Each structure stands twice: as structure tokens, then as C-alpha cells.
Structure 1
Amino acid sequence: MAAPKVAVVGAGVIGLSTALCIVEACPSCSVTVLSDQFSPNTTSDVAAGMLIPHTYPGTPIHVQKQWFKETFTYLFAISNSAEASEAGIHLVSGWQIFKSTPKEELPFWSDAVLGFRPMSEAELQKFPQYQFGQAFTTLKCDCPPYLLWLEKRLKAAGVQMYNRKVSDLWELHSEYDIVVNCTGIGAHQLVGDKKIFPVRGQVLKVYAPWVKNFIRDGDGLTYIYPGIHSVTLGGTREKESWSLSPNPGTTKDIFDRCCSLEPSLREAQDIKVKVGLRPSRQSVRLQREVLSQGGVKLPVVHNYGHGAGGFSVHRGTAKEAARLVGECIAALRGSSSGAKL
């Protein structure tokens, strides 16, 4: 069999990472990325890119933990390299604070981040409304630079990228041997997945270089995440809202909430408002499927539905998707030598 041709549909952090993992796992593959949106116009470009996992109720915790650890290890290596600045990856320390002590004082990911510990009384004095907190150091991805860094890595590996709107995966069957679906919220329409729904997030990107520590309210709605060039202030979590237009009332609410945690933000400059639709699902869809029409078969690997936690697990799920592509290639090679798919 000739070099298998693989199309990855979607060019957010999941699509680009999956394409990179396929190239690394199967250097003989010919990989193409197809997307109607590339950076800076993807949902991933709006994301804060903090490695603090969100829980997927439909995915076993040990699997989520493995995805997170693989992602953390991968990004930690980049943060310790000369490419850290270009890739937009850096360590950031800070606090996750709670109005009352949570049932789970040790989250499943506590030993994967660095230096996780309960906050001291002295630290908690910074947040008089809060009773309990956790201090730790994690990684932050500045998303547009990271996506461009991934694109650069892919181009160097010979991956082609085309601006193309795919409206049906089957339309690719005559050009590609395997298709990988990393379309995020687009899967709602593309493959008719009714289990995926948007959770609208509005955030502010502000210039406040004196803010060095992240602060995250334990309910996950109010957060301050310092990046290399700007600080991300959030946020909202609006289920089933498809609106990409910023809401001025929400902007004021986010700003006020963040200033109540970090009053110095009142002096922040250059406030930009961004909106993204998180592709939410009970569990990430990570599986193989074979589409067939009239005796013709098209193996498909799905990798989407990462919700608010995509950056925290993107490398782990991309590695798993690449492994599934390897299974598809093995099945194709078996069938081309006379065995049944």
C-alpha cells in the first residue's frame, strides 16, 4: 500500500496537535489539514490556555489524568527550551480560592501540577471573602502564538494546510484514505452530533503587566490569567448560546468581578473583548468509525468535544487519536493484502 493519505479536519489546538502527533507516530503518512478557519479566527484563539483541568463526567478519571499528565509533560519541556517564548508557553503560579472548603480538597490533577498545597492563612488575607484556597504552579499557553508554532512545526514536517469548508466527511473519500474529525462545535452540524452543545465564553484581554499571579474562583467563572503579552479576565459559561457578539453588560460584570479579586486591575489598559463557543460534551468523543457507501469504506477518527478544558488535555487526546489512526492504517494494510476490514 502507498503512503496513507490522512486528512485532519479542523485547525484549532486539537486539530493541529492531532496532525502533529500523526506525523510523529507515522512519518510515512501524507497528512493534510483542512479548515475553514485558521488562527487567529479559531475558538482556541479565544481560550485562556491555562492548564487547570475541567472534569468530563462521561470519561474515567484515570483517563483524564493521563491526558493531562501527557499534555503537561509535553508543554513543560517546551517551556524549558529556547522555543518557550515563540510557542507562548510559560509557568505561572497562583491561587484557586473557594468561599467554602470544597468536598474534594485534593483534585485528581493535584500531583500533576507543581507544588500543589493548601493556602496559608497569610495568603488568604488577600481574599477576605474566601475561606479556603489552593496554591500551585501550572503552565499557560498564549494561544495565538502556540497555534502559529504548531503550524510552523507541521509545515516543517511537510504537512499541507488548505482553507476549505468541509460540509460532509464523505466528500473526502476519493482524496484521502483516513479522515480525522477535529471540528469542535462544528461536529454538531458536520456529523449531526446532538450530544455536543456550545457553552459561550466571553473574556477580556487587558494590558496589566504588573499582574504576575493567576487567581481563579473555585466556581470557575471568575479568573485572572496572566500571559506573556496580556492578562485574560473571565468569564462566562452560557449553555446553548451560539452568539459570537460581545455583550457590553457582561464586559462590565467580568471587569468588576476581577477587580474585586485584584483591585489593581482598575488601572488596566487596552481592553479587548473576545467571545468563543466551547465545544461541550459529557465526554470527549475519541473513537474510530467506518463510513461506507456502495461498498466503499472511509475510516474516520473523531477527536472533539473538549469543552472548556481543551488546552489542559490537548496533547494527550491528540496522541490517542494518532494511535487510532495507526489502527486504521493497520486495518487498511490488512484489507489491501486480501483480509477483510
Structure 2
Amino acid sequence: MKPVKVAVIGAGVIGLSTAVCLAKTLPYCSVTILAEKFSPNTTSDGAAGILLPKVFPDIPLERQRRWFKETFDHLQALVESHEAPEAGVYLSSGYHIFKEVPADPKPYWSDYVFGFRVMTDKEMKRFPNHKFGQAFTSIKCECPRYLRWLEKKFRGAGGQIKYEKVTSIPQLIQHYDVIVNCSGIGSHHLVGDKGAYPVRGQILKLQASWLKNFIRDGDGNTYIYPGIDCVTVGGTRQEDDWRMEVDRSDSEGIMDRCIKLEPSLHGAKVLEEWVGLRPGRINPRVESEWLQDQNRWVLLVHNYGHGGCGISLSWGSALDAVGLVRKNLHEKPLQSKL
């Protein structure tokens, strides 16, 4: 059987996860990743990397639940393996605190993390400006390590990598049978998706080895995530903001908010300031379509728009995208469309 040539656009956590799943589960596919930037220069490299998703309004909750569960299961198996240090994944415990009781005090993901419970009054006294909190243990990815691990797995499965900036889908149609678009915010221009918008995120990495537990404010803008080599603090969620320069006032605001939650951070050494553009969208786009160029038909599968939930949903949505490839190739074999 002639190999099905597949191009995956993008080398962030969504693109790499999708490429690995394709290469491992569809042996009749020859998979190539096309991207201008690879780790450590992707948006995913700056992600805090803790598994903690939000709820998207127009996607069935069961589908979101499946995405998170499959991602959590995949990473938990990795945590419990000898590859955990190389992949940079481990269990992380901490607090998720709110200034008001949330509408859903027991979100769907609470069924999958470890030890989920409501914080006690004694614990909440530490955060006098907050009224409610959740304590649990989740999984954290040190993203630069995890991305390198994914790339290693992809190459080991026979995948190919090309440093190439894709500026239009039509330029690939004559060379590939299947195109998988994991270009993140690049889809705003690449496929003309005006519903995809940047959500500017700025973080700082601090030297604060004494911190072991994460703290996240329910507003999504203030968080403290201890890691292997440093503590990541943030952040910003500035929609439709394409700036990639570090904003000094944002850094000062981040430190002020985080010190209020964790006073021991006062005076902690700043190791790095980082800015990235999350691929914002009302809902992630994980769907397929057929493209025609003269007498040639090519399958296009989209997998992007996860916003700040890329790590949390990466493996599950990758499996979904692979399922779309398999289903379409099975129901409408390329040979019958040519």
C-alpha cells in the first residue's frame, strides 16, 4: 500500500502531540511536521504546564471530559514511568482560590485529579481576600523538556521534521494527501479564521526553590507554579494584543499580585521574563474538511484554538484529530477521490 503522506503544521504541544499520535497509531501514514519555530521558541515553551482546564461553551462536555481524561491518563502513565525525568512531568499539589464562590464549585476535571476537596477555614485564613478554595494534586509539565521528549518520540516513530514557514494551505496540496493544521494563533492568517485571536501572556521565572505548592487565583491572571528549576509566576490575559515585547508595568503588576498571595516571593531573583500569544478562540476547532485542487482531493483536519488549555487537552484532542483522519480515509479513500 502506498503510504499516505501527512503534513502537520505547527510544532507546539498540540502539533507535536498530534504528530506523535498519527505516527504511532496510523502506520500507513508518512508524517512530516512543518514549522518555522520549534522548541524552545514556541508558545508552548512558556506555558506553566499544569493540567487545569476551563469549560468551553459550545463543545459537548463529554467531549471536553474525554480530552482531559485522555491527556491526564497519558501523562500519569508517563509520571509513573522511568521516562518522567526526561519528559519533565510530575505531580504538583496546591490551591485554587476564589474571591467569590464559583458557579461550579466541583468542576468536571475534579473527577480525574487527585485528592480534590474544598479548602478548610484554617487554610483559607492564609488568603483573607478570598472566600473559597479547592485543594488538589494535578500533573505539571516542564514544557521545554516535554516538547523535546515528544519530538524524540516522533522521530523514533519514523516521523520527519522540516523547518518551513507555511504561509498558505494550497502550497501543500500537491505534496501531501492529508494536512493537519495545528498552527495555533497562526490560523488567524493561515486559514482566515477571524475567530482566532491572540491572548497575550506575560510571565516571570523566579529563583525561589523553597516553594513547593502551587497557588492559582480563580481570575486566571494570578498564579504561582513551582517547577523543577524555577518558579513561574504570572500573568496576563490580554485579548487581541499582538505585542511580543516585555511590558515593565505588567511585570511589576504580576510581582505585586503574587507577593500578596505568597509574601516569601518578595526579593526573589528574576531569572527570565517571557511573552507569548495563546491561540484564543471561543471554542477549540477540531474538525475536518476536504479540499480540491483540479482533480486532486486532500483532507484538511484542524486542531487549534485551545487558548490557555493547550497542555491540559493536548493528548485528548490529538487523538480526536487522528480519529478524524482515520474516519475520513476509511469512509472516503483517497484513491476513489482522485
Q: TM-score, normalised by structure 1?
A: 0.96
Runs of 4+ in 1 over 3 A off after TM superposition: none
- Name the SS for the 2:137 alignment partner: strand
- Once the two structures are TM-superposed, the CA of residue 116 in structure 1 deviates from its matched residue by 0.4
- Once the two structures are TM-superposed, the CA of residue 20 in structure 1 deviates from its matched residue by 0.6
State whether residues 204 and 270 of structure 2, in contact with CA within 8 Å, keep that contact through their aligned partners in structure 1. Answer: no
- Once the two structures are TM-superposed, the CA of residue 121 in structure 1 deviates from its matched residue by 1.4
Instruction: Give the match for residue 223 of structure 2.
Output: 223
> What is the one-letter code of the residue matched to 2:174?
S
State whether residues 4 and 329 of structure 1, in contact with CA within 8 Å, keep that contact through their aligned partners in structure 2. Answer: no
- Name the SS for the 2:65 alignment partner: helix
Instruction: Give the match for residue 62 of structure 2.
Output: 62
CA distance, structure 2, for counterparts of residue 235 and residue 270 of structure 1: 14
Matched-pair identity in %: 51
Instruction: Give the match for residue 31 of structure 1.
Output: 31
Tell me, yes or no, if structure 1 residue 193 matches structure 2 residue 193: yes
CA distance, structure 2, for counterparts of residue 251 and residue 144 of structure 1: 22
CA distance, structure 1, for counterparts of residue 328 and residue 4 of structure 2: 10
Give the alignment's Cα RMSD to 1 decimal.
1.2
CA distance, structure 1, for counterparts of residue 253 and residue 125 of structure 2: 24
Give the 5 Å matches for 1:1-341.
Answer: 1-331=1-331, 333=333, 335-336=334-335, 339-340=336-337
Cα deviations by residue, 1:146-169 (Å, 9 ceiling, x for unpaired): 000000111111111010011111
CA distance, structure 2, for counterparts of residue 298 and residue 168 of structure 1: 14
State whether residues 56 and 283 of structure 1, in contact with CA within 8 Å, keep that contact through their aligned partners in structure 2. Answer: yes
> What is the one-letter code of the residue matched to 2:222?
T
State whether residues 168 and 190 of structure 1, in contact with CA within 8 Å, keep that contact through their aligned partners in structure 2. Answer: yes
State whether residues 67 and 314 of structure 1, in contact with CA within 8 Å, keep that contact through their aligned partners in structure 2. Answer: yes
State whether residues 100 and 131 of structure 1, in contact with CA within 8 Å, keep that contact through their aligned partners in structure 2. Answer: yes
Which segment is superposed worse, 267-276 or 27-36? 267-276
State whether residues 202 and 275 of structure 1, in contact with CA within 8 Å, keep that contact through their aligned partners in structure 2. Answer: yes
CA distance, structure 2, for counterparts of residue 340 and residue 154 of structure 1: 29
CA distance, structure 2, for counterparts of residue 59 and residue 276 of structure 1: 26
- Once the two structures are TM-superposed, the CA of residue 340 in structure 1 deviates from its matched residue by 5.0
- Once the two structures are TM-superposed, the CA of residue 176 in structure 1 deviates from its matched residue by 1.1
> What is the one-letter code of the residue matched to 1:175?
H
- Once the two structures are TM-superposed, the CA of residue 317 in structure 1 deviates from its matched residue by 0.2
CA distance, structure 2, for counterparts of residue 312 and residue 50 of structure 1: 7
CA distance, structure 1, for counterparts of residue 103 and residue 302 of structure 2: 34
- Once the two structures are TM-superposed, the CA of residue 284 in structure 1 deviates from its matched residue by 0.9
State whether residues 296 and 337 of structure 2, in contact with CA within 8 Å, keep that contact through their aligned partners in structure 1. Answer: no
- Once the two structures are TM-superposed, the CA of residue 207 in structure 1 deviates from its matched residue by 1.5
CA distance, structure 2, for counterparts of residue 267 and residue 38 of structure 1: 33
Q: Which runs of 5+ in 1 are unaligned?
A: none
Cα deviations by residue, 1:273-305 (Å, 9 ceiling, x for unpaired): 111111011111111111112232111111000
CA distance, structure 2, for counterparts of residue 208 and residue 5 of structure 1: 47
Which segment is superposed worse, 22-31 or 71-80? 22-31
- Once the two structures are TM-superposed, the CA of residue 55 in structure 1 deviates from its matched residue by 1.9
Cα deviations by residue, 1:189-237 (Å, 9 ceiling, x for unpaired): 0000011111101011111111100101111110001111111101111
- Once the two structures are TM-superposed, the CA of residue 331 in structure 1 deviates from its matched residue by 4.3
Q: TM-score, normalised by structure 2?
A: 0.97
CA distance, structure 1, for counterparts of residue 60 and residue 275 of structure 2: 30
- Name the SS for the 1:292 alignment partner: strand
- Once the two structures are TM-superposed, the CA of residue 316 in structure 1 deviates from its matched residue by 0.3
State whether residues 185 and 305 of structure 2, in contact with CA within 8 Å, keep that contact through their aligned partners in structure 1. Answer: yes
CA distance, structure 2, for counterparts of residue 169 and residue 76 of structure 1: 36
- Name the SS for the 2:109 alignment partner: coil
> What is the one-letter code of the residue matched to 1:238?
Q
CA distance, structure 1, for counterparts of residue 17 and residue 28 of structure 2: 18
CA distance, structure 2, for counterparts of residue 168 and residue 92 of structure 1: 40
- Once the two structures are TM-superposed, the CA of residue 328 in structure 1 deviates from its matched residue by 3.1
Cα deviations by residue, 1:216-264 (Å, 9 ceiling, x for unpaired): 1111110001111111101111010000001001101101100110011
State whether residues 24 and 157 of structure 2, in contact with CA within 8 Å, keep that contact through their aligned partners in structure 1. Answer: no
State whether residues 173 and 293 of structure 2, in contact with CA within 8 Å, keep that contact through their aligned partners in structure 1. Answer: no
Which segment is superposed worse, 322-331 or 217-226? 322-331
